[in-house]
Structure 1
Amino acid sequence: MEQLTEKDSLVEYGFKRALITVSCILCALLEIVDTTIVNVALNDMRGSLGATLTDVAWVITAYAIANVIVIPMTSWLSQQFGRRNYFAASIIIFTVSSFLCGNATNIWELVVFRFIQGMGGGALLVTAQTILTESYPPEKRSMAQAIYGMGVIVGPTLGPPLGGWIVDNYSWPYIFYINVPLGIIATVLTLSLVKSPKYGSKQSPKEVDWWGMVFLILFIGSLQYVLEHGQQDDWFENKVILTLSIVSFLGLFFFIWRELTYDKPIVNLRVLQDKNLQVGTIMSFILGFGLFGSTFIIPIYTQSILGWSATDAGMLLIPSSVMTGIMMPFIGKMIQAGIPQKYMVATGLTIFFGYSLFMYSIITNDTGTEHMFWPLIIRGVGLGLLFVPVMTLSLSTLKGKAIGEGAAFTGMSRQLGGSFGIALITTFISRYTQHHRVDLISHLDPSRTEVQTRITAMQANFISKGFTPNEALAKAHQILEGTVTKQATILSYMDVFLYLGILFLICVPFVLLIKQGKGKVDVSNMH
């Protein structure tokens, strides 16, 4: 009974709860926007810092690795230092390192500061979700997840256009400087408003699960590096990738063994005995795969095939995010009304399949904004129906410190899903472009009249511009080669959308098999 009273004392009402909500959303947005905002600034960074493309890729990799290492440990760190202190310290680390990123004088300084920024940022996402969940009474927690979901869904798509606008109008350091005033506001709000639950005595340094921490870092850090660099380094043909894959597997094996046998583990794996959390963790992985995968592929397609600017490519995704944002409160109300989350998730997966099929059917080398508007609106609806029900379902039967532990698992799963999605999509596009290119070339038989006619017409065009017949023929072959490669790339993008949709459709029957209690989800009396 004492534990229940303590948990209920974290619930806030009125203006104070509104301010806590603003603070949590601000922190979630800061963290997620920063995962994608640098993508459009990499070329400028490379030029001003004198770095290679491989070097500058570490600006993204360092942040992602730090992020996924910290996320599973957030619940334990909150218990050690107090949630309010840990949350505030994470915001301060994120804010200070953002300022240092903007002041970096060489690429490796920037990479180090990005890693530190990722350490602070990883905590923001999960802790913000836990604080929000516990600040709302049980019957309104689906609405809390809906509000949080707006930040998580809008963040990845807000990054590229915001980054593009800042780079076009100012310079790349300002993509980090904008975090500083927002971080200061979030720190003040956190220290003023957030309460820390009492979880009992802290662990002494001797009791700390240091080996668990080491195994977790080896597992997650190595896995994230393999996913980020696998395709460009030719996967398992590369000794570093092969070695780190083995290290990651061994790290996972020993991490699971350690956490299940140690008295005070750094990550409580036993919380995964909760059936709803098991389903939620798997669905979070698939959600991350779809969210980050589709956020990654659309800007690449529009920039590399259609020749759009970074800002225009980023702006294309905004209506989709706005649609998701509009839906969130309605979805929260639907859950409160007792509509089973599994039906909403199944509908979301089916709608996302429809979006993927729509994109598959309209992709060409001259597809316009007007063609992609409605598919992206459908994407927004699908993501809205997925995110809130998955998050609410995941945490619905947890209470006390298990809420934070559960949020850490779903957060890590979503981030890893995104990393897997981007790695697989990059590899798929690279491999299938070659496959389609070979197929297309096999149809370009030089003996065919239409092929000869086209080459002759292009050659004549170049001769009329002053080229010699041999130069003109070489130019004609070069243009034909470029056309084939572009068409092969478009076909590989179409395949990605088709298979992404099929993946979501396959999940529907499994979601419908979930056993869920009737009526409203009430986390106050379930365990």
Structure 2
Amino acid sequence: MAEPQAPAPLEGSQRMLATLALSLATFMNVLDTSIANVSLPAIAGDMGVAPNQGTWVITSFAVANAVSVPLTGWLTQRFGQVRLFVASVILFTIASFLCGVATTLPMLIAFRILQGAVAGPMIPLSQSLLLSSYPKSMSGTAFAAWSMTTLIAPVMGPLLGGWISDNFSWPWIFYVNIPAGILASWVVWRIFKTRETPTRKLPIDMIGLGLLVVWVSCLQLTLDKGKELDWFNSGEIVALAATALVGFCFFIVWERGEEHPVVDLSLFKLRNFTVATIAISLGYGVFFGSVVLMPLWLQQFMAYTSTWAGLTTAPVGLFAIIASPIVGKNMHRWDARKVASAAFVIFALVSWMRSEFNTQADYWTLILPQLVQGFAMACFFIPLVSITLSQVKPHLIPSASGLSSFVRITCGALGASIFTTMWESRASLHHAQLAESVSNLRPESVMALNQLQASGMSEAQSLGVLDRLVTVQAYTLSADELFLASAIIFLVLTGIVWFAKPVKPSGVAAPAGGDH
């Protein structure tokens, strides 16, 4: 099939409006992956269910979204980029309204599944439409606009969600999407409706789609429910993991031999796509694990409120906002591999700084690594997305972006699960070791107990206070170990990006490989 002719780039105010609308839709999508987290207690209480049942509000969205993201390429060929993107935003907005008016947990979960399913194409297509709006020499600027929304939204989600829950009611975490969705869909349709991509009627690969749904759903459920069910000590988790593995193997074999696959695995023949997808996914997995761990440690063991935990983590976006346009504007003059390597080195430095945290760390000690990390974030997404798409033909960008996003999102979920599980596991070990030093035979312990009892506490209360102090120290030591391990992983990733070929300064084109 002949390669479709790419439309001419947009200019002036039209390009600016398109960038804002696409970024708004992306921000809305990414925000919804984290905004509901802090509102779970309010949702569970309002609906009269246990908090652990309320976690299905998060899981249901994640599972549906994980299934639909890699289908972007196939859906784009069937319906066209512009129609698919606008329909996705409109349906997401409707699903958000339905989530807000849900009166029972099963209703809310059903609407969250709908919301996650229709949200899948939004992020990959926002990349593709942005790239088509800019000249190749300004592709870095396009990536900068996209990366800012992708990086800031997960940080803003808990902060905004907590504020809405404290000052309004939980349905408003979904209602805020309505004006944003209406505005974004209207602007995008007005600007891009004459720039629709060619479509063709493709047969539906029902077997491939079924296998995708099975293995991705089982994998996501394994990651989401593993910690709660004690991982592989649970028969349910063993069954889910085994089904995911078998389903994945069958899926790979089937898709490689299918003429019209739902996921174009042949993209992995492109060296830059494969190398950059591995680097961005592993890096994002470690980054997201830290994003999840920091607020948990602050709230549970440093006596921070939800609002203050949000204010402590939010500055990570400050320098990302400042540095991203600079990196994007100069990306065509720099070697993307050097910029990505710099990001991993800064990430390693930030992780090392966090590994030095202790229970006496003040607010500014905690803030400093967050500020430094903003520079790393600006140098992370822009060059790696550029390398990912550097050998991909324009009409295959939705497929490539969808597949790369799917791997990245999956690694993010895996990173969060590994971090939280290892955190608790290592903390239990440290608690046992530290508790050995608290004994009636040790003078320091006897002195501490006497001082607590002299202040009016009973012996049981005094022992409870000491146990709490030991627990706080144990979880802090565990967090420090994970941050140090993160620093090592980031340094290893610095070398991986150099397996990619250099990206031509003229834009997103590089020596093509494979049959693309």
**Could you say what the CA RMSD is over the residues aligned between the two structures, in angstroms?**
1.7
Deviations 1:292-341 (A, max 9, x none): 2222111111111122221221122222112111111111123111x111
Alignment partner for residue 515 of structure 1, among 501, 509, 512?
501
Residue identity over aligned pairs, in percent, reads: 30
TM-score, length-normalised on structure 1?
A: 0.94
> Which position in structure 2 is the counterpart of 1:161?
159
Answering whether residue 317 of structure 2 is matched by residue 321 of structure 1, we say yes
In the aligned structure 1, how far is the partner of 2:82 from the partner of 2:197?
A: 11
CA contact (8 A) 1:335 1:520 kept: no
Q: How many residues in Structure 1 have an aligned counterpart in Structure 2? A: 512
In the aligned structure 2, how far is the partner of 1:345 from the partner of 1:274?
A: 19
1:197, distance to aligned residue in structure 2 (A): 4.5
SS in 2 for 1:171: coil
Deviations 1:142-172 (A, max 9, x none): 2111110011001100111111111111111
> Which position in structure 1 is the counterpart of 2:394?
400
Answering whether residue 425 of structure 2 is matched by residue 425 of structure 1, we say no
> Which position in structure 2 is the counterpart of 1:340?
335
After superposing the two structures, state which structure 1 stretch, 452-461 or 491-500, moved more: 452-461
CA contact (8 A) 1:215 1:252 kept: yes
The 3 A distance-change label for structure 1 pair 150 and 517 is: closer
The 3 A distance-change label for structure 1 pair 521 and 230 is: same
> Which position in structure 1 is the counterpart of 2:447?
453
After superposing the two structures, state which structure 1 stretch, 258-267 or 326-335, moved more: 326-335
Letter in 1 for 2:231: W
Letter in 1 for 2:489: L
Letter in 2 for 1:490: T
> Which position in structure 2 is the counterpart of 1:467?
none
Letter in 2 for 1:251: G
The 3 A distance-change label for structure 1 pair 245 and 395 is: same
> Which position in structure 1 is the counterpart of 2:462?
476
In the aligned structure 2, how far is the partner of 1:290 from the partner of 1:487?
A: 23
Superposed, 1:82-101 pairs within 5 Å as 82-101=80-99
SS in 2 for 1:96: helix
CA contact (8 A) 2:80 2:199 kept: no
After superposing the two structures, state which structure 1 stretch, 62-71 or 502-511, moved more: 502-511
Identify unmatched segments of 5+ residues in structure 1. Answer: 464-471
Superposed, 1:49-448 pairs within 5 Å as 49-195=47-193, 196-203=195-202, 207-337=203-333, 339-361=334-356, 363-448=357-442
The 3 A distance-change label for structure 1 pair 408 and 443 is: same
1:519, distance to aligned residue in structure 2 (A): 4.1
In the aligned structure 2, how far is the partner of 1:287 from the partner of 1:95?
A: 31
> Which position in structure 2 is the counterpart of 1:496?
482
SS in 1 for 2:379: helix
> Which position in structure 2 is the counterpart of 1:15?
13
Letter in 2 for 1:365: T
TM-score, length-normalised on structure 2?
A: 0.96
The 3 A distance-change label for structure 1 pair 517 and 300 is: closer
In the aligned structure 2, how far is the partner of 1:10 from the partner of 1:226?
A: 45
In the aligned structure 1, how far is the partner of 2:192 from the partner of 2:199?
A: 18
In the aligned structure 2, how far is the partner of 1:275 from the partner of 1:482?
A: 51
In the aligned structure 1, how far is the partner of 2:505 from the partner of 2:133?
A: 22
In the aligned structure 2, how far is the partner of 1:451 from the partner of 1:253?
A: 56
> Which position in structure 2 is the counterpart of 1:506?
492
SS in 2 for 1:443: coil
1:80, distance to aligned residue in structure 2 (A): 0.8
In the aligned structure 1, how far is the partner of 2:99 from the partner of 2:36?
A: 11
Letter in 1 for 2:239: T
Alignment partner for residue 30 of structure 2, among 18, 25, 32?
32
CA contact (8 A) 2:283 2:490 kept: no
SS in 2 for 1:69: helix
In the aligned structure 1, how far is the partner of 2:199 from the partner of 2:98?
A: 36
